[in-house]
Each structure stands twice: as structure tokens, then as C-alpha cells.
């Protein structure tokens, strides 16, 4: 079926108090894992491509993701994750994306608002909806490390002004999560009070970046097969469930897919040293990622919402 816009899918989720998974893809196996799990769970989903993914996979990746997403029997939007410029967002819209993120969260509010508004005007004219961000997450963004002390929680009054003046459709908020596999010591503290404050002022769907759970069994599989991932920590499922009841409608996951892919590939290469058929290596990795997506769709509450 035709792709839906991000807002078509996310507005229903915010109203119905369930969360929609936005999963990052870089290749065919990840894309199939996301879409097959969404279809089996009868769940809407967003398939996200970062600029790094686009650089890696080029037109073959973009065309495959859009083609496969259109074949799905559940609502799907193809989304640009962390778009860095107007030009990048416009290029993705021309390629057929139905949702774009313009991320000028590292700029001051004035520049962020003006740059976001430019993208919104063009995107809306072409029937595409827009995510923006205000506040700053910690962790790794587009390979730039944002130190803990540089992370700034989103302020509710700024968020309200920013959304009014920019016209963006959904808003990424900094509320204690961070990108990558090291989200803090122990269970990262999620500022639920801040989500509630923002949601009280804004009817828009809110977005949680850096939401991966970093499952302990995958870290163990990765490390016990020669990997070196220290002090790994993710967002607790209960925090994600609670955040969804508070106004979070889009939940981003990349790390969990990368980790499960790499853990399974490591395990196969270590346990079966004669194996050199890519299908026997990537096939089980695809199954593991599909299971991760399926489990998360249940946590988000989007199962049977298609
Ligand atoms: O938030 C960033 C996503 O995990 C994408 O990462 O830019 O390395 O593709 P990437
Ligand atoms: P994770 O690193 O927690 O998977 O977050 C991914 C993300 O926010 C993509 O935009
Ligand atoms: Zn992100």
C-alpha cells in the first residue's frame, strides 16, 4: 500500500496512548527484520535512514527500503533520521520519504526555529511531515560525541514556543536518554516529570531518541564471542512503557539492532569456523533482529494497531 506520512501514524499513537517504533536500517536484512516483525505483529512502523546510512547504501538502499515498505500490509512511513540540512531533507523528499527530521538542536533556538520552519514549509507543500528537536541528548550523534555535561533537557516553555513558531509536526525531546550502547551507569534516570510538563503544553507526538534497551543477553553474546563492549546500559522497558502513557509516541531504536546483528554474526563465526556462506551468517542475524523488533513493538503497545 502507499506509504503514510509520519504524522498520519504518530497522531493516532499519541491520541491512543501507544508508541510507534522507528527503527534504523542500513541494509536488506535489517529492513526485512523491521517490516516482517511489523507485519507479524500487525503494527504500524517507521523505517528510518540516517545520512550515514544513505551515504553507505546509496540509491540501491533507498529504493529497496521504499519499495519494500510500500509492499507491507501495515502502515509504514520512511523517515530521514537526524537530517542535518534543508538540502538533505529536500533530497529525501524527492526520493520518496514521507517523514523527515531536521535536527538543528545544536544551534540556538532562533536558528533552530528558522531552519526548521524552512523545511516545514517545503515538506508540507509536498505532503511530507516533519520532526524537529529542541534540547540536547548525550551520547554519539552522527559520530560526534556529545558529553554528558553538554546534554540539556528540553524545557517545556521553549518547546511550546519552538513548535508554535517552527510549525513542526512532532518533537524530539531530551529527557535523560542518549544514543549508543552506554547510556549511563546502571539504569539511566528518565525525567518523567519533564515529559509530563512538555506534554501538558503540546498536543504533538513526542519523540524519544536513544531509546534502545541494550539487552544484557546480547551484550553477553557479543562479549563472550570476542567482542569488547564495556559498561553497556540501556533504557529500562518500564521507563519506555511509562513514557508512552505520558506523551511519547515515537521511539527510536538503532543500537539494539546493531548489537544483536553483531552478536549473532560473532557467535556464528566463532562456533562454525568453516562457515563462509553469507546467507548462513546473515540469515540468523536477521532472525535475531526480527525478534528484537517484535518484542519492542509489544512493549510500545503498537501490536494490533495496524
Ligand atoms: O541517532 C543516530 C542513529 O543511531 C544513526 O546512526 O548516523 O551512525 O547511522 P548513524
Ligand atoms: P539508540 O542508540 O538508543 O538505538 O537510539 C537511536 C536513535 O535515537 C536514532 O535516532
Ligand atoms: Zn537519534
CA–CA distance, 303 with 46 (Å, rounded to integer): 14
Q: Exposed, middle or buried, 297 (CB in 10 Å: 0-12/13-18/19+)? A: buried
Given the CA of residue 258, which atom of ligand 1 is nearest to it? 4
Ligand 1: residue of 51, 61, 84, 142 to mutate (most ligand atoms within 8 A of CB) is 142
Closest residue CA from atom 1 of ligand 2: 210
Active site residue 81: yes
3-state secondary structure string, 69-102? HHHCCCCEEEEEEEECCHHHHHHHHHHCCCEEEE
The confidence score (pLDDT) of residue 186 equals 86
Q: What is the pLDDT of residues 241-253, one digit of tens each?
A: 999 999 999 999 9
The confidence score (pLDDT) of residue 147 equals 60
Q: Can you say whether residue 218 is alpha, beta or left, with left for phi > 0 and alpha for psi between -120 and 50 degrees?
A: alpha
CA–CA distance, 233 with 259 (Å, rounded to integer): 12
50 CA to centre of ligand 3 in angstroms:
9
pLDDT at 23 over 60: yes
The confidence score (pLDDT) of residue 113 equals 98
Are the beta carbons of 174 and 137 closer than 8 angstroms? yes
Q: Is 237 helix (H, G, I), strand (E, B) or coil?
A: helix
Q: CATH number of 6-300: 3.60.15.10, 1.20.1090.10, 3.30.70.3340, 3.20.20.70?
A: 3.20.20.70
The confidence score (pLDDT) of residue 6 equals 98
pLDDT at 36 over 70: yes
Give mean pLDDT, residues 231-241: 97
Domain ranges of the chain: 6-300
Given the CA of residue 140, which atom of ligand 2 is nearest to it? 2
CA–CA distance, 228 with 231 (Å, rounded to integer): 10
Q: What DSSP element (H or E) covers 51? A: helix 51-71
273 CA to centre of ligand 3 in angstroms:
36
Percentage of residues in the chain having pLDDT higher than 90: 93
pTM, entire model: 0.96
Q: What is the pLDDT of residues 113-161, one digit of tens each?
A: 999 999 999 999 999 999 999 998 876 554 555 666 567 899 999 999 9
The confidence score (pLDDT) of residue 149 equals 55
Q: Is 132 helix (H, G, I), strand (E, B) or coil?
A: strand
Q: Quick one: DSSP state of residue 185?
A: S
Closest CA to 169 of 42, 302, 11, 62: 11
Taking residue 141's Cβ as centre, other Cβ atoms within 10 Å add up to: 21
Name, in order, each residue with C-beta under 8 angstroms of 154's C-beta and a sequence gap of 6 or more.
134, 135, 171, 173, 174, 175, 194, 198
Taking residue 7's Cβ as centre, other Cβ atoms within 10 Å add up to: 21
Given the CA of residue 142, which atom of ligand 1 is nearest to it? 7
The confidence score (pLDDT) of residue 176 equals 95
If pLDDT is split at 50, 70 and 90, which confidence band does 109 have?
very high
Q: Which one of 8, 63, 81, 298 is the catalytic residue?
A: 81
Ligand 1: residue of 46, 54, 65, 141 to mutate (most ligand atoms within 8 A of CB) is 141
Q: What is the pLDDT of residues 155-214, one digit of tens each?
A: 999 999 999 999 999 999 999 999 999 998 889 999 999 999 999 999 999 999 999 999
The confidence score (pLDDT) of residue 151 equals 72
Quick one: CA dihedral 235, 82, 24, 128, positive or negative? positive
Quick one: CA dihedral 154, 79, 215, 219, positive or negative? negative
Amino acid at each position: 500500500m502507499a506509504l503514510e506520512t509520519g504524522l498520519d501514524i504518530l497522531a493516532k499513537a499519541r491520541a491512543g496512548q501507544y508508541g510507534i517504533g522507528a527503527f534504523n536500517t542500513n541494509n536488506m536484512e535489517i529492513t526485512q527484520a523491521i517490516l516482517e516483525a511489523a507485519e507479524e505483529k500487525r503494527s504500524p512502523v517507521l523505517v528510518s535512514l540516517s545520512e550515514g546510512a544513505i551515504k553507505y547504501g546509496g540509491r540501491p538502499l533507498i529504493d529497496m527500503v521504499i519499495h519494500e515498505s510500500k509492499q507491507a500490509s501495515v502502515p509504514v512511513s520512511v523517515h530521514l533520521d537526524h537530517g542535518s540540512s534543508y538540502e538533505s531533507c529536500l533530497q529525501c523528499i524527492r526520493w520518496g520519504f514521507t517523514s523527515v527530521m531536521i535536527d538543528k538542536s545544536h544551534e540556538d533556538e532562533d536558528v533552530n526555529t528558522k531552519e526548521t520552519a524552512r523545511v516545514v514549509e517545503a515538506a508540507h507543500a509536498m505532503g511530507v511531515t516533519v520532526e524537529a528537536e529542541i534540547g540536547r541528548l548525550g551520547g554519539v550523534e552522527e559520530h560526534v560525541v556529545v558529553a554528558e555535561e553538554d546534554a540539556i533537557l528540553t524545557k517545556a516553555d521553549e518547546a511550546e514556543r519552538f513548535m508554535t513558531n517552527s510549525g513542526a509536526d512532532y518533537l524530539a525531546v531530551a529527557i535523560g536518554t542518549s544514543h549508543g550502547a552506554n547510556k549511563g551507569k546502571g539504569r539511566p534516570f528518565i525525567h518523567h516529570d519533564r515529559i509530563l510538563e512538555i506534554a501538558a503544553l503540546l498536543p504533538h507526538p513526542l519523540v524519544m531518541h536513544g531509546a534502545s534497551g541494550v539487552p544484557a543477553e546480547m551484550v553477553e553474546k557479543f562479549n563472550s564471542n570476542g567482542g569488547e563492549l564495556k559498561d553497556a546500559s540501556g533504557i529500562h522497558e518500564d521507563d519506555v512503557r511509562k513514557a508512552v502513557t505520558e506523551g511519547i509516541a515515537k521511539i527510536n531504536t538503532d543500537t539494539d539492532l546493531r548489537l544483536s546483528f553483531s552478536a549473532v554474526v560473532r557467535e556464528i563465526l566463532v562456533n562454525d569456523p568453516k562457515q563462509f556462506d553469507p546467507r548462513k551468517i546473515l540469515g540468523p542475524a536477521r532472525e535475531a533482529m526480527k525478534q528484537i523488533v517484535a518484542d519492542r513493538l509489544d512493549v510500545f503497545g503498537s501490536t494490533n494497531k495496524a
